Amino acid sequence: AKYGIVLDAGSSHTALFVYQWPADKENETGIVSQHSMCDVQGGGISSYADNPPAAGSSLKACLDQAKAAVPAERHAETPLHLGATAGMRLLNLTDPGATQRTPFDFRGARILSGEEEGLFGWVTANYLMENFVKYGWVGRWVRPKRATAGALDLGGASTQITFETPDPAAPAVPLRLYGQRFRVFTHSFLCFGRDQVLKRLLGHLLKASSFRLALSNPCWPRGFSRSFPMESVFGSPCTAPLRPPNYFPSALVNMSGSGNAGQCREQAARLLASQDFAGTALPNVTGRFIAFSAFFYTVDFLQSVTKRRVASPKDLEDATEEICNMTWAQLLHAEPRMERFLPDYCPMANFVSLLLTRGYGFDETTFLDIAFQKKAGETSIGWALGFMLNLTNMIPAEEAGSWRATAPGPWVGLLLLLVAILLVAAAASACLLRGRTTPGAL
């Protein structure tokens, strides 16, 4: 077997995936499967801008696991690819030229565009569902005559919708994969990922209260309260427009939950009514869809706690209302192991419900075509597998030579180079961001 490694450097955390496939491929296509994965402890790599060495230390446990997973004789020929997503895109907003000014070769580490992230997720989902090609029972590769599935991704800092569209007027990316042609619509909404949505909701609440330091939050459960510095909300480019005129990053906010489902839904609806989202025209959704990442985790939590199946927009809205009306004590009793995330399920469930219906246009009929999944078989659904398939030339692109892999090399040493590349960019961007925000804090 051969192996490939992808570091998924997301906005909130990093995950390392080890993939394997047979050494003998037919028509440059192997049966790729996920061998193992490892969640890196700590935040995303963009959070290490002030302390780059700590990023390398955080990767050690997962690196050791990968070394053990890949046979020693395969180490030197196993390619490692690092892809950073919306977290680094946000940092890059403050200084677009930062990455170009580093002295490193960027072939092995990339900040993916939102459209690339969406397309790679779509490729992963359809590859795992065998919509492109499958190994037939007669021992030959066959192209199944089935429609592709759309991909719905909700990460920490952005959300992506990607699907094959029959609308000739819709903006679409022409792809040629496995000898088949596809017209794929994809769009990424930066600042509409889980973590940034939560920050923006808090930012709007603070602004509506004239930035009082003690206030209630209708999206948090009754009986729950938390104190946090202003910087934890307004330190992001996504919330910068909401900052108070006299911004004190260290000012402490005391917020308590009031558990009002209707008011929370109004707050979430305000985000989707913004020009950043409402100003984007989307083609009508068509066909099956796979909803993964935070879409899956949110709906899975709702079904687990409410003991009801979410199969329609009304089901999703009802389950959301039930969660939002639960007290902190009731939530803790229902899911004690999820304590860290419990306060955020009400706002996220409202946002997911509105995003799918008002944002993406799913109705009572088309909602039935959404499958909320974390994995297909034993392989995680996300952009990482599609990214690796491209970079290892195991899935052809529209133009020959346009999707090339980094030359295989000793991936243990390459790992340090890749992390250094993005951390240099993160540090430069963070310094510039601080330089721009500090005067307003005085």
Q: Is 158 a known ligand-binding residue?
A: yes
- For residue 412, what pLDDT band results from cuts at 50, 70 and 90? very low
- For residue 57, what pLDDT band results from cuts at 50, 70 and 90? confident
Distance CA 4, CA 35 (A): 10
**Quick one: which of 355, 194, 155, 212 has its CA closest to 270?**
355
Any idea which of 21-30, 139-148, 268-277, 295-304 has the lowest mean pLDDT?
A: 21-30
- The domain total for the chain is 2
Q: Is 159 a known ligand-binding residue?
A: yes
Please give the C-alpha separations between residue 149 and each of 279, 353, 359, in angstroms, as whole numbers.
26, 20, 19
Locus of tokens 């969660």? 323
| Interacting residues of 93 by C-beta distance below 8 A, sequence separation 6+ | 237, 429
- Among left, alpha and beta (phi > 0; psi -120 to 50; other), residue 417 is alpha
Any idea which of 27-41, 75-89, 385-399 has the lowest mean pLDDT?
A: 385-399
Please give the helix or strand (H or E) that residue 189 lies within, else none. strand 180-190
- For residue 441, what pLDDT band results from cuts at 50, 70 and 90? very low
Confirm whether 302 is domain-assigned. Answer: yes
Confirm whether 177 is domain-assigned. Answer: yes
pLDDT at 206: 98
User: Do 300 and 170 sit in the same domain of this protein?
Assistant: yes
Which among 73, 77, 115, 117 is annotated as catalytic?
117
| Interacting residues of 420 by C-beta distance below 8 A, sequence separation 6+ | 52, 104
CA-CA-CA-CA dihedral for 319, 324, 328, 329, to nearest 10: -40
Any idea which of 17-31, 100-114, 117-131, 175-189 has the lowest mean pLDDT?
A: 100-114
Q: Which of 373, 392, 425 represents a domain boundary (last residue)?
A: 373
- Over range 406-417, report the average pLDDT: 44
| Interacting residues of 24 by C-beta distance below 8 A, sequence separation 6+ | 30
Q: Is 160 a known ligand-binding residue?
A: yes
Q: Is 196 a known ligand-binding residue?
A: no
pLDDT at 142: 63
| Interacting residues of 163 by C-beta distance below 8 A, sequence separation 6+ | 122, 148, 149, 150, 151, 184, 185, 285, 286, 287, 289
User: Do 62 and 102 sit in the same domain of this protein?
Assistant: yes
Confirm whether 139 is domain-assigned. Answer: no
Any idea which of 30-39, 249-258, 323-332 has the lowest mean pLDDT?
A: 30-39
Confirm whether 133 is domain-assigned. Answer: no
Residue 107 has pLDDT above 70, yes or no: no
User: Do 420 and 386 sit in the same domain of this protein?
Assistant: yes
Q: Which residue has the higher pLDDT, 435 or 261?
A: 261
- Among left, alpha and beta (phi > 0; psi -120 to 50; other), residue 78 is beta
User: Do 287 and 203 sit in the same domain of this protein?
Assistant: yes
User: Do 297 and 175 sit in the same domain of this protein?
Assistant: yes
| Interacting residues of 90 by C-beta distance below 8 A, sequence separation 6+ | 11, 46, 157, 190, 191, 196, 236, 237, 238
- Over range 34-58, report the average pLDDT: 76
- Residue 115 annotated as catalytic: no
User: Would you call 117 exposed, middle or buried from its count of C-beta atoms within 10 A (0-12, 13-18, 19+)?
Assistant: buried
- Among left, alpha and beta (phi > 0; psi -120 to 50; other), residue 297 is alpha
- Over range 133-155, report the average pLDDT: 75
CA-CA-CA-CA dihedral for 342, 347, 352, 358, to nearest 10: 170
Per DSSP (E only), the strands in 353-414 are 370-372, 375-376, 379-380
**pLDDT tens, 286-313?**
999 999 999 999 999 999 999 999 999 9
Q: Three-state DSSP class for 399?
A: coil
Distance CA 247, CA 252 (A): 12
Distance CA 49, CA 206 (A): 27
- For residue 199, what pLDDT band results from cuts at 50, 70 and 90? very high
**Quick one: which of 45, 82, 17 has its CA closest to 414?**
82
β-pair type (109-111, 80-84): parallel
Q: Is 157 a known ligand-binding residue?
A: yes
pLDDT at 398: 35
User: Do 170 and 79 sit in the same domain of this protein?
Assistant: no
Task: Assign residue 103 the CATH number of its domain.
Answer: 3.30.420.40
Confirm whether 336 is domain-assigned. Answer: yes
User: Do 211 and 284 sit in the same domain of this protein?
Assistant: yes
User: Do 13 and 98 sit in the same domain of this protein?
Assistant: yes
**Quick one: which of 181, 144, 204 has its CA closest to 351?**
204
Task: Assign residue 203 the CATH number of its domain.
Answer: 3.30.420.150
Confirm whether 317 is domain-assigned. Answer: yes
Confirm whether 315 is domain-assigned. Answer: yes
Residue 209 has pLDDT above 70, yes or no: yes
Distance CA 276, CA 238 (A): 11
pLDDT at 98: 40
- For residue 225, what pLDDT band results from cuts at 50, 70 and 90? very high
Residue 288, both tokens: 């099956």
User: Do 192 and 212 sit in the same domain of this protein?
Assistant: yes
pLDDT at 290: 98
User: Do 97 and 207 sit in the same domain of this protein?
Assistant: no
Q: How far is C-alpha 245 from the geometric centre of its chain's CA atoms?
A: 32
Q: Which of 340, 373, 406 represents a domain boundary (last residue)?
A: 373
Please give the helix or strand (H or E) that residue 3 lies within, else none. strand 2-9
Please give the C-alpha separations between residue 399 and each of 126, 143, 181, 390, 409, in angstroms, as whole numbers.
20, 21, 12, 12, 25
User: Do 362 and 408 sit in the same domain of this protein?
Assistant: no
Distance CA 175, CA 390 (A): 12
User: Do 105 and 188 sit in the same domain of this protein?
Assistant: no
Which residue(s) pair with 19 in the sheet?
A: 4, 34
Distance CA 117, CA 107 (A): 17
Please give the C-alpha separations between residue 394 and each of 2, 118, 366, 407, in angstroms, as whole numbers.
12, 19, 33, 14
Boundaries of domain holding 54: 2-113+382-433
> Which amino acid is residue 197, in one-letter code?
V
Residue 156 has pLDDT above 70, yes or no: yes
Distance CA 206, CA 203 (A): 5
Distance CA 56, CA 136 (A): 44
Confirm whether 390 is domain-assigned. Answer: yes
Locus of tokens 């309260």? 225
The DSSP code for 26 is B
Please give the C-alpha separations between residue 13 and each of 84, 92, 157, 335, 347, in angstroms, as whole numbers.
10, 18, 11, 23, 21
